[in-house]
Amino acid sequence: MKDDDAGSQVGDSANAAVVTGMPEPYFPPGDLTLFKYLEDVEEKIMPLPTSKDQVVALAQFVALKMGGPIDRGQISNFSWELPMSQLKFDCKSNVINIGKIRAGIHCHRALLFKTLADRIAVSCTLVRGEYNRAWNEVMLQYKRTKHQGEGLKFPPRCYLVDLVHHPGRLMLSDSVDAINYQKL
């Protein structure tokens, strides 16, 4: 008899939501494109032999999915705002699945890069700058010079990953190129 009572209580609580007029919980739709990106990255990029190879390949992958390389002088002419507004209108939300974005600039690309890098265990940071700027930094070992001997040198250095102008280019985080990448 108690089993029947427990079952009816569960049914009663589910019906109570309908009776009281409480809205049902909202579950956003899944991002099938992002899931496909994750599968592709796990299959094609994760097996690469070094972290540097993975970072470069991942940067090129992200740039390809977000509209390709953009010349430095043409960033203001890159049409991303209208497609983004259209997506927001179609979704009836300001929150958009990252996989739906086909034309992205710094912030969109950096977020996608971070998401994919986390999936394949490539350690990186997502840094937010000003004016829709964002970038990723990775710590990589660097090769010794001939005078220092063979192998890789420690400690690793911090590199900024170019996802926009020359996808896959790694810049030392304190270099002039890296500083310019972070600015308008």
Question: Is residue 159's pLDDT more than 90?
Answer: yes
85 vs 62: CA distance, rounded Å: 21
Global pTM exceeds 0.85: no
What share of the chain in percent tops pLDDT 90? Answer: 49
Smallest CA-to-CA distance from 159 within 135, 183, 128 is with: 135
- pLDDT tens digits, 12-22: 545 555 566 78
Distance of CA 2 to the CA centre of its chain: 51
How buried is residue 167: exposed, middle or buried, by Cβ count under 10 Å (0-12/13-18/19+)? Answer: buried
pLDDT score at 148: 58
- Would you kindly state where each structural domain of the chain is located, as residue ranges? 27-181
Question: Is residue 30's pLDDT more than 90?
Answer: no
Pull the structure tokens for residue 130. 């000003």
Rounded to 10 degrees, what is the CA torsion of 51, 54, 55, 58? -160
pLDDT score at 5: 52
Q: Pick the range with the lowest mean pLDDT from 79-83, 103-107, 138-142, 146-150.
A: 146-150
Q: Pick the range with the lowest mean pLDDT from 39-43, 53-57, 108-112, 142-146.
A: 142-146
> Which value, in Å, is the radius of gyration of the alpha carbons in the chain?
23
Question: Is residue 176's pLDDT more than 90?
Answer: yes
**How does the average pLDDT of the chain come out, rounded?**
84
